[in-house]
Structure 1
Amino acid sequence: MLKQRSFKAVIWSASDAFLRTGLQFVVSIALARLLTPEDFGTVALLYLFVGVAHVFVDGGFTSALIQKQDSTHADESTVFWFNLLMGAITASLLAAFAPLIADFYDAPILVPLARIVALSIFLNGLSALQITLLKKGLRFKLLLAVGGVSTFFSGTVAIVLAVKGYGVWALAAQTVTASAVLLLLVWILQGWRPTMKISISSARDLFGFSSYMLASRLLDVTYNRLYTLTIGRLYGVEEIGYYIRADNTKQLPTSLLSGVLSSVAYPTFATIGSDKARLLRGVRLAARIVMAINLPLMFGLIIVAKPVVVVLFGTQWLPCVPILQILCMAAVLMPLQVIYGNALLAQGHANVYFRIELTKKLFAILAIAVSSLYGVIWVAWAQVAISMISFTISALYIKRYLQYSLKGQFLDCFPPFGAAVAMASLVWLISDKLAGAPITSLILTTILGASLYAGVGWLFGLRSFNEVRGLLAERIGHRSSS
């Protein structure tokens, strides 16, 4: 029953991720051709501050609510009012400190821009609890609907404003519109409503878990967005624009996988967190399947990076190609870290998760700070080193707390890795003979790569291929019999 419910949740969550991320990517393609790298770089200057604000809005309470199996309406109302209060406080602080941020970057436009974007933080505080309850209940079909609608409307607004020449304000309007539409839809479609009662005992009970999540996410946001501060301060908004474009392109596949894993794996793992044997089987299955998908995507994107950038965004974005190729190397192992982290949280090891994140992120922040002194390319290479060291740390901890041996991890992930390397090597050798117009080269290379990878998987009978086929067949059979 749980397997069927979890697989159904994966399908709907994946559909939500594909729809929302796909729409966002289509919008980003249009905006990349309508706006300049400087426009994107200007908005990126606020990423760190907005990211930190969003962490405080959540405070880790929503994760604690998912992890707590017997949560009450009092728990949920307490989390709602906390989110709302922190949304108001952090939005006000961002608006108040906007002049200081503008002075730091010597960019006066950041004053009104930060104050407009601050509104989205407050709106997200109003919708965070409802979205969490939908995830906890594995109601991803409804999330698919509201996510798709909010992305469509916000993207439409941004494109219209960009066409009319509003520049950076089109990106700001996109952020606020997405938050507003999402808020409206979840309040209309999700039946939960708060009471005026705030339970101190609920807050105290949830805080033991959420405090570690808050600290972990602060570290994560600081690490993920520190480059906007260092590159923006040292090299200007155009260089940030190129880095953002490369990072967002790389994240199209990785954010799909990570989004599905974070949305489904954690709630699903949490229901079996006390059964270590079942949890281990779930983690191994997730690791095999997700690596069978992520590895060919990342290696393939490295090969076709140049035609992808030219076809999708235009030649003005060519400086981001080498950055994109390096960042794809850094993303190869990222989904495994998401799976391992969710497995630890499902067992209630928020303190362990925090120690892991503290160790990884302190090293990462130092690496980014030092590498930024030598140029944007070095920041990208620092991400590769960070990824390898971070995965090693995660692998050692999951071995300790879930008895998932290093040998087992290697045996689960090496077959798709070998197939992906073989595919990428063959495509790289043949790609010169497929040279032509960028779009022709991209289409032929993609078809060749997908065919080679599928052929290798079929020829050697990769376990992960058979598992995906088995899950799909089981799901189809279940639907036919129901």
Structure 2
Amino acid sequence: MSSTSTSLNSKIFSGVIWNVIQMVVNKSFAFVIKLVLARILLPEDFGVVGMAIVFISFIEVLNDVGIGAALIQRREEELRSAHFHTAFWTGVIWSVVIYLIISFIGGPLAAQFYDEPILSNLVPVLSLGVLSSPINLVHKAQLTRSMDFKKIALITNSSVIFSGVLSLILAFTGFGVWALVFNSVTTIIVAMPLYFKSTGWMPKLIWEREAFKDVFGFGIYTTGTKLANNFSNKIDYLIIGKLLSASALGVYTLAFVLTDTLKSQITTVLGNVMYPVYGKKQDDPKSIKKYFLFLIKYNSVVVYPIMVVFIILGEPIITDFFGEKWLDTVIPLKILSVSIIFTMMTNSVSALIRGLGYPSLEFKIQTFKAIFLYVPLIYVGILAYGVEGAAYAVLINKVFFVIISQYFLKKLIGITYFDLFFCLKVPVTAFSITMLFSYLLYDVLYVNYYIIIVFILILYSGLIYILDKDELKNLMKKVKSSKTIK
């Protein structure tokens, strides 16, 4: 193995470790915060904040106009200092425009659309992150390019812990829905000075037309993709909030947070690390295929047992942890958990396509999926079956997206259905066996669900080791050898 390849593997290993640390601290703490807030607050409170976030997200997605992704994807020789300074000032100026639009148009429009007057006040405060986000953009891009995920993890965890503590103080002192609002906003604002300190980079009064055209040309498609994705991800919230109620939206939000959002955080561990790797290796499709299948397999290995827990034990978990008032979350939680199983087959496809330098293709795929698949399914599902119908629509959409993604995976880097299923045979087998025994324990033998959770983790981990022992040992050898590289 060449020294360059070994060095890259070492950076990948380090990146994975620090992203794992970030995810564990971040999500563990965030889960505790959500648990406490859910006990103190009502589903309606979560629903109102969800309504505000939907309106904000449609404008907020335009905030960095894809510049951050462009700075990460570009080769080293293609970037000059002018690119970073231009990106910074473009982001700052643009964010002010976006914030004014959200505050003076988005807030009143949301209040009128949902008939919730409080949204006029919530939206401008929730949007404060819009002003600080582009300031962090260049710093985070620089750290990601250098694969210095340790600093990113420390910054993220520090800001999450601070904002979580603040939200708890507000909740216990009677601020109600505002506890959720400041929990969302404070995280981004607190991270700002930490990013400046971590990189030592300071913006200069430089704005270059050529540099702007260079990064914006790539970023415009990335922004279009984000807009299409955001439309897909939020249209269910929009319709539920409009056609049903704030309480129904709160129920659906909790189910989505526990499944899709949790999955996203876990898969981001490897996704964040591999995106810059795709950029570095974009001329080596054989290596990219290997890395991508590795990503699919081991993300699935981590996510599948969590979905087993939710599918089998969703009801006792919801009622014991969040209370009887959240009982309507159980069925959507189980349906969305099944959808995650299919999601893992296409996880990081968008990042792969973007990393290969095809942002326009990524945009076209996501737009097609949003307009012709997801929106009709969600609308019909909610009209027919309410919140459960929305969850079924998500599941059907994920199945269709597996088929669409596979077509382009084969075309771009030669990944076939056989490759996909072969790389997933171990986690799928372990998942199926664990599901069967867990069902028997809970629904037939009525074993305490705490015991079953422990059983699921032990059985699943044991099956993964038995079925994949040789590869795991080989992986550990590579990890140990990469750690010795200085």
Pair 1:13 & 2:19 matched? yes
How many corresponding residue pairs?
475
Aligned partners of 1:456 and 1:154: how far apart in 2?
39
- Which stretch has the larger CA shift, 250-259 or 353-362? 250-259
Q: Which of 284, 291, 296 is 1:287 aligned to?
A: 296
Which whole-Å deviations, capped at 9, do the CAs of 1:350-394 have from their partners, x for residues lacking one? 122122212222211222122221211101000000001012111
Aligned partners of 1:255 and 1:22: how far apart in 2?
14
Which whole-Å deviations, capped at 9, do the CAs of 1:148-201 have from their partners, x for residues lacking one? 111111111111111111111111111221121111211222211112111111
**Structure 1 partner of 2:57:** 51
Structure 2 vs 1, CA of residues 153 and 400 (structure 1 numbering), >3 Å: closer, same or farther?
A: same
Q: Partner letter of residue 442 of structure 2?
A: S
Q: Which of 181, 189, 195 is 1:172 aligned to?
A: 181
Q: Which of 184, 189, 193 is 2:202 aligned to?
A: 193
**Structure 1 partner of 2:109:** 100
**Structure 1 partner of 2:451:** 444
**Structure 2 partner of 1:61:** 67
- Which stretch has the larger CA shift, 344-353 or 252-261? 252-261
Contact 2:10/2:485 (<8 A) preserved: no
Structure 2 vs 1, CA of residues 470 and 11 (structure 1 numbering), >3 Å: closer, same or farther?
A: farther
Q: Which of 163, 168, 171 is 1:162 aligned to?
A: 171
**Structure 2 partner of 1:350:** 359
Aligned partners of 1:33 and 1:205: how far apart in 2?
49
Contact 2:163/2:187 (<8 A) preserved: yes
Contact 1:372/1:378 (<8 A) preserved: yes
Structure 1 residue runs of 4 or more that deviate by more than 6 Å after TM superposition: none
1:470 Cα offset (Å):
3.4
Under a length normalisation based on structure 1, what TM-score does the superposition of the two structures give? 0.94
**Structure 2 partner of 1:25:** 31
1:27 Cα offset (Å):
0.7
Q: Which of 112, 119, 126 is 1:117 aligned to?
A: 126
Q: Which of 420, 430, 448 is 1:409 aligned to?
A: 420
**Structure 2 partner of 1:386:** 397
Q: Which of 367, 370, 384 is 2:377 aligned to?
A: 367
Aligned partners of 1:232 and 1:151: how far apart in 2?
27
Contact 1:276/1:402 (<8 A) preserved: yes
Output aligned runs, 1:296-335, within 5 Å.
296-335=305-344
Aligned partners of 2:286 and 2:204: how far apart in 1?
40
Pair 1:471 & 2:475 matched? yes
- Which stretch has the larger CA shift, 282-291 or 105-114? 282-291
Contact 2:52/2:123 (<8 A) preserved: yes
Aligned partners of 1:434 and 1:26: how far apart in 2?
31
Aligned partners of 1:142 and 1:434: how far apart in 2?
48
**Structure 2 partner of 1:224:** 233
**Structure 2 partner of 1:84:** 92
Percent identical across equivalent pairs? 25
Contact 1:29/1:312 (<8 A) preserved: yes
- Which stretch has the larger CA shift, 298-307 or 164-173? 298-307
- Which stretch has the larger CA shift, 366-375 or 5-14? 366-375
Aligned partners of 2:64 and 2:156: how far apart in 1?
19
Under a length normalisation based on structure 2, what TM-score does the superposition of the two structures give? 0.93
Unpaired runs of 5+ in structure 1?
Answer: none
Aligned partners of 1:209 and 1:142: how far apart in 2?
26
SS across alignment from 1:56? coil
Structure 2 vs 1, CA of residues 137 and 434 (structure 1 numbering), >3 Å: closer, same or farther?
A: farther
Aligned partners of 1:75 and 1:275: how far apart in 2?
26
- Which stretch has the larger CA shift, 357-366 or 427-436? 427-436
Q: Partner letter of residue 377 of structure 2?
A: A
Q: Which of 136, 142, 146 is 2:145 aligned to?
A: 136
Q: Partner letter of residue 444 of structure 1?
A: I
Aligned partners of 1:358 and 1:481: how far apart in 2?
43
Aligned partners of 1:240 and 1:89: how far apart in 2?
30
Aligned partners of 1:333 and 1:266: how far apart in 2?
21
1:399 Cα offset (Å):
0.7
Structure 2 vs 1, CA of residues 80 and 442 (structure 1 numbering), >3 Å: closer, same or farther?
A: farther
1:474 Cα offset (Å):
3.4
Aligned partners of 1:388 and 1:303: how far apart in 2?
21
Unpaired runs of 5+ in structure 2?
Answer: 1-6
Aligned partners of 1:25 and 1:469: how far apart in 2?
33
When the two chains are superposed, the root-mean-square deviation of aligned CA atoms in Å is 1.8
Contact 1:130/1:190 (<8 A) preserved: yes
Which whole-Å deviations, capped at 9, do the CAs of 1:181-222 have from their partners, x for residues lacking one? 111211222211112111111121122221111111101011
Aligned partners of 2:476 and 2:35: how far apart in 1?
32
SS across alignment from 1:57? coil
1:469 Cα offset (Å):
4.4
**Structure 1 partner of 2:190:** 181
